[in-house]
Structure formats: C-alpha cells, structure tokens
Structure 1
Amino acid sequence: MKKTFLLGVGAQKAGTSWLYQQLKKSEDFANGFRKEYHIFDALTIKECKSFLTQTQKRCRRLLDSEFDTWSQSPDLKALTFYADTNNYFCYFEKLLNESDANLVADITPSYSGLSSETLSYIKKQFAKRGIDVKVIFIMREPINRLLSALKMHFRRKGLTIESEPIIKEMKLSIGKNWETLRSNYRETCSNIIDVFDEQQRCFCFYETMFSPGEMLRIFDFFGIDASCVDVEEMVNHTPGIIRIDKDSMKIFEENFTDRYNFVKSNFNGDIHDLWMMRIDEITAKTSTAAPKSVCNFWHPFRAIRELY
C-alpha cells in the first residue's frame, strides 16, 4: 500500500483533536512528536508568525537545561523545520520508512489559511519522496465554532465561562483576521480543490462526522481500518452551556451569511438545515423550558455530544 501523508487543515474546534486521538490508536498510523506542527502557517501567514517566535523563545530557555533535555525537545526539532522545510519532509519520510504504518499526519487547524501555492509546494515535496498527500477539512457551523473557541480560550486563561463576557468577546472577534482565517470555508475549499484531485481530498462536517457511516467514509479515505474509533470519547471538551440572546444572534448570523450560502450551494442541503438547528439550540428562548434535542435523527446510536 502506498505511503500517505495526511494534511489536516482544520477547522479549529471542529473535532481535529478527537480525530487525531483515534488515528493514534491505529497500527496503520505512525505518530510523530505532535499533532500540530505549525510550520507552514508560521512561515506564510502573518497572523500565525507567533508560533515561530514562541518556539524560538522556548528553545532559548533550553540553554539553561541539560543537554539530554535538548535532544528530547520537540521544539528543537520544530526549529529545524523552520530553518529548512526540507527537514520537515525528511522527518515524515523517515517516520514512514522506519515503521510498518502507511499513514503519518500533520493536523494543524490554522492551515485552513494556507494558500494554494503553499499547498502545492507541500504536495510536490512529498511526491518527490514517493509519498501521496491527502487533505482533510472539517467544517463546523461558524457561530458554534467561534463560541467553542472562545470557551476554550476562557478556560485556558482561568476565566469564568459565562454568557455575557463570552458574547461580548464574540462580537469583538467579528471581522478580525484571526477569526476569518479559521472560518473562511469558501477560500479554504477553493485552495484545496485547486491543488488536490477528488480522491486526494475529503470535506466533512463536525455535525455529522461522528455517525457510523460518515466515520467509515473518512477512515476509508485515510486507507485504514475504522475499528479503532470511539465516537463517545471526548477530547478538548469545555463544559458550560452558553445561550446567546436573539439580538446578538442576528448579528452573528448576518456576519456569517456567506458561509451559510456557500455550504447550501456546494454541499448536501441537510448540512445547512443542521446548521440552522445548531443555531436554534444555542439561542436564548423567552421560555424557561429546557431546549429539545433536535439532532439525534442523524445519529440515533449516540447521545448528542456536548453542544460546543
């Protein structure tokens, strides 16, 4: 079977960490030293330069540690990739050659902002080494995606997860480059289609990817068995349900109209309907009644994952 490099390009908070955890369980997958390498975003996207500078700072701190610590440092390895991207490609080539596995991966959500030129460069460099490249892009309803991202941010900062500050931060995020980078689904899909043939690309959706049929489709695309998958496993889960008032929700919906239109025009219409249901689930109601679960119809074998 041909050796394959899997390029995961997001979206952020769309199940990429969960997917990586499932891949790690497979004997057909050769796991590298991290899930997200952040090489090509840091080198080519202005909003992602900090991934390089942060790595450099951590490597400087290694000077105060023992040499054995240096040799084991993933940051030092990453720094060699930044210095010469040929080291990046050679690393994955070696990883495949030294194992019986057929698949390796770099699943970096902010790669959603990579240009078609950068994607083409990655594809060509692996092709020189006899390695096929496949790309997966997972989309998620953009309001829920942004909400989930900010909940995670609040959690990491030790802030209380409450509706008012979260909604305020969501409004401040609208139109910011860092947010657009992670939710411009039209641009990301277009760049992928420009570079990768149909059999080399997989578009899927967070709202349906945990169903048995969809998971089989995704892992068949990877070329590995799906028996390792645990759809009940929760990864990077941030507890806390946020309800968004109707006025604020209207602002968010208007901001993401182009995303909804893109999905409605280019993918199964059921996805658009699911997205509208997801929006309804997190919209504050005047009634005090508990919201109904409306998404179980697409996955009767499993309770709804946490809304965000």
Structure 2
Amino acid sequence: MIDNLFLCVGAQKAGTTWLHSQLENHEDISFSDVKEVHYFNTIHNGSILLTRRKVEHLERLIKNNKHSLERYFSDLSSGKKVDAGIDRLLSPVDDEWYISLFSNKTGKYAADFSPEYALIGKEGFSNVKRISENQKIIYMMRDPISRAISAIKYYYKMHNTNISEVPIESMRALAQSNLILNMSMYDITIKELRSCFNQDQVLYMFYENVMANKQESIDTVCNFLDISKVSIPEAQLSRRVNVTEDFDIDGDIISLLREKLANTYVYMKQEFKLPEKWYNDI
C-alpha cells in the first residue's frame, strides 16, 4: 500500500502540466517516472493509453536494446534478480503493479498527474482509497468552453491535422466525445470526489487564478500538502507548456458546447466563486 498518494486529476488543458513542472523537483514529492501513468482510467474506463505506452516502450527495447531483454529472461529463468523497469513493463497491470511504481521512491508523497482520472467515477476513486493509506487530490479546472476548445486544438495538433481542413461534422463529433465534453463537466467529477473524500483531502483550483497568481498558487499547493514552500524563479513560473496554436473555432462548435455545458456552469456558479474570465452569459 502507498502511504501518501498525491493525485492531480484534471482537467486536461487546465494547467496540470504546468503545475507538474513547478513541483517535479520538490524534495517531498516523488513523481512517477512519467507525468501521466493512466492506471486508474485504464482499469475503470478501458483507456488504451497505458497499454499503448507499454507497447511503444517494448518496441524501442526490441529495436535498440534487445540484449537487455535477453538478459531479463535469462535472469528470470535462473531465479536471479531481474531488471525492475523491464519487469514492470512486462507484468500485468493491477494494483500491485501500480504500487510498485513508487516502491523505491523517497519523499512524503507518491505523485501521479493524470488528468483523465477526472473520469474514473466513484469506483475508480474507491480504488484510489484501497491502495493508499492517505490521499490528497488536486482538481484543476478552466472555463469549460475555453478548456474544451483548447483540447480540440491540441487533439488535432497531436494528430498532425490541419484544423482548418477538418469537416465541421467531424469536429462536432469530437466536441461531444468523452475526452472533450465529459472532461469539462466538472459538476459530475466534483460530486464524485465529494462522495469519496473528505473536504480537506481535495483542493479545487482554477487555471485562470493560477496563471494570474503563480507563486501564490504554488504556496497554496504546498500548504495543502503540508510540505515546505519553494520559491520558484520567475522564468520557470512563466514558462508555457503544451501550447496550442491559435485558431478560431467555428461558432457552431461553440454553440454546441454552450448548450451541452449549461448545467455545469449553473452548478459551478452555485458552488464556487468563479474567475471573471469564465463565460459570464451562460
């Protein structure tokens, strides 16, 4: 079991990569070897991201370092201690596998920043509690429509697609997918988090406020985790990550998102003091 597990559960394109880059060298936090493990969404949502990453890693080993694989199987057959990294790569993905990712880590917290965990539901969050003694969760949010638009742009960027050439119907379908629409439905995730965790276990943060008060936001996170504060150079605080190119999204897509996310805006206005930059006419 993990003693103290620190998760950042989203939302995608809401500053999670930026926050990771500010905290990745903190002595009290031991991050997974990759920023986004995708374990819980693999188990509870059927995501293929973790499997794809393991396959890609294995392909690189076969191509560039097949001798390490040969040595692994030789050691395995002779009962010798095997390479832990390759063992995790070839082992079944289950709770013990996830716990092993942090077995040799130091620091107060084991940390995993996977935004897609926002969609794992009560069953997934219950799994988090089963494999860790204590949990701290940060849920980062951004104006739902702005976040969705940024995610759409990022999707086409990662697929090397010229967004200006995408048929409107294809973009409408993407806008209504789990990755885009459901990730902006903060009300659903918040209700699930509140049903599974105590109030002091979850910190809700808004991208717009974080970007306007970067060092203060880092201090807030450190207070939340009860770890030492760090003074981060302005150049690092201001460094942009995962930037997507600017492109005007068709008004029909914005109208669609506005309709689908109306209930989310109503809920968020009732529960939080929202940043001024959020859409105010919803």
CA shift in 2, pair 1:73/1:63, >3 Å? farther
Shift, 1:120, TM fit:
1.9
Which one of 144, 147, 151 corresponds to residue 145 of structure 1?
A: 147
Matched, 1:88 2:94: no
What TM-score results when the alignment is normalised by the length of structure 1? 0.74
Q: Distance in 1 between matches of 2:3 and 2:50?
A: 29
CA contact (8 A) 2:149 2:249 kept: no
Counterpart position of 1:184 = 185
- Partner secondary structure for residue 102 of structure 2: helix
AA partner of residue 137 (structure 1): Y
CA shift in 2, pair 1:216/1:167, >3 Å? farther
Q: Distance in 1 between matches of 2:128 and 2:7?
A: 9
Cα deviation code 1:24-53 (max 9, x no counterpart): 13222223311111111111113x1x2244
Counterpart position of 2:20 = 20
Which one of 213, 225, 242 corresponds to residue 222 of structure 1?
A: 225
Mapping 1:27-38, distance limit 5 Å: 27-38=27-38
Mapping 1:67-216, distance limit 5 Å: 67-68=67-68, 77=88, 79-80=90-91, 82=93, 84-95=94-105, 99=106, 101-127=107-133, 132-162=134-164, 165=166, 169-210=170-211, 211=213, 212-216=215-219
Cα deviation code 1:102-137 (max 9, x no counterpart): 22211111111112222122223211xxxx210111
AA partner of residue 33 (structure 1): D
Matched, 1:250 2:255: yes
CA shift in 2, pair 1:152/1:245, >3 Å? closer
Matched, 1:232 2:232: no
- Partner secondary structure for residue 33 of structure 2: coil
Q: Distance in 1 between matches of 2:152 and 2:86?
A: 26
Shift, 1:16, TM fit:
0.8
Q: Distance in 1 between matches of 2:219 and 2:167?
A: 36
Shift, 1:74, TM fit:
5.9
Cα deviation code 1:158-204 (max 9, x no counterpart): 23354x63966542224323334422211111111111111111111
- Partner secondary structure for residue 136 of structure 2: strand
Q: Distance in 1 between matches of 2:149 and 2:83?
A: 36
CA contact (8 A) 2:156 2:162 kept: yes
How many residues get paired?
Answer: 263
- Partner secondary structure for residue 209 of structure 1: helix
Shift, 1:217, TM fit:
1.4
Q: Which runs of 5+ in 2 are unaligned?
A: 73-81
Q: Which structure is richer in relative contact order (CA contacts within 8 A, separation 6 or more)?
A: 2
- Partner secondary structure for residue 276 of structure 1: coil
Matched, 1:51 2:49: yes
CA contact (8 A) 1:25 1:228 kept: no
Shift, 1:8, TM fit:
1.4
- Partner secondary structure for residue 132 of structure 2: helix
Q: Which runs of 5+ in 1 are unaligned?
A: 281-308
Q: Distance in 1 between matches of 2:187 and 2:23?
A: 27
What TM-score results when the alignment is normalised by the length of structure 2? 0.80
CA shift in 2, pair 1:79/1:143, >3 Å? farther
Cα deviation code 1:234-280 (max 9, x no counterpart): 11112x32234555433321121112112111111x43x42116x99
AA partner of residue 19 (structure 1): L
CA shift in 2, pair 1:245/1:114, >3 Å? closer
